[in-house]
Amino acid sequence: MLRCRPGPCEMNRMPPVLNKFLRSNFATFLFVSVMASGCGGLQHQSNLIIPPGTQLENPLFVGLPDGEFVWNQIVDSVDDYFLIEREERMRQLGSVITEGRLYTLPTAGSTYFEPWLSDSSPGFEKAQSTLQSTRRQAFVRVTPNAEGYLIEVVVSKELEDLFQPEFSSVGGSVQRHDGSVERSSGGTRDDTSVSLGWIPLGRDHYLEQRILLDLQSRFTNAR
pLDDT in tens, 92-151: 888 888 999 999 999 999 999 988 888 888 888 999 899 989 999 999 999 998 889 999
pLDDT of residue 99: 94
CA dist., res. 141 & res. 126, Å (int): 26
Contact 123, 149 (CB under 8 A): no
CA dist., res. 144 & res. 142, Å (int): 7
Q: What is the DSSP string of 3-67?
A: ---SSS-GGGSPPHHHHHHHHHTHHHHHHHHHHHH--TTTS-TT---PPTT----SSEEE--S-H
pLDDT of residue 52: 63
Higher pLDDT, residue 187 or 110? 110
Q: What are phi and psi of 46, to 5 degrees?
A: -85, 0
Mean pLDDT of the chain: 76
pLDDT value at 165 more than 50: yes
Q: What is the dihedral of CA 210, 211, 216, 217, to 10 degrees?
A: 70
Secondary structure (H, E, C), 150-180: EEEEEEEEEEEEECCCCCCCCCCCCCCCCCC
**Angle of the 205-222 helix axis to the 67-78 helix axis, nearest 10:** 140
pLDDT value at 29 more than 80: no
Q: What is the dihedral of CA 184, 185, 189, 190, to 10 degrees?
A: -40
pLDDT of residue 50: 63
Partner residues linked to 88 by β-bridges: 101
pLDDT of residue 16: 56
Partner residues linked to 103 by β-bridges: 86, 139
pLDDT of residue 169: 60
Contact 149, 183 (CB under 8 A): no
What are the Cα distances from residue 39, in Å, to 34, 48, 117, 119, 214? 7, 15, 12, 16, 21
Q: What do you get for the CA distance between the two ends of the chain, in Å?
A: 81
pLDDT of residue 39: 45
pLDDT value at 73 more than 60: yes
Q: In the predicted model, what is the mean pLDDT of residues 195-216?
A: 91
Share of the chain above pLDDT 90, in %: 39
pLDDT of residue 58: 92
pLDDT value at 46 more than 50: no
pLDDT value at 13 more than 70: no
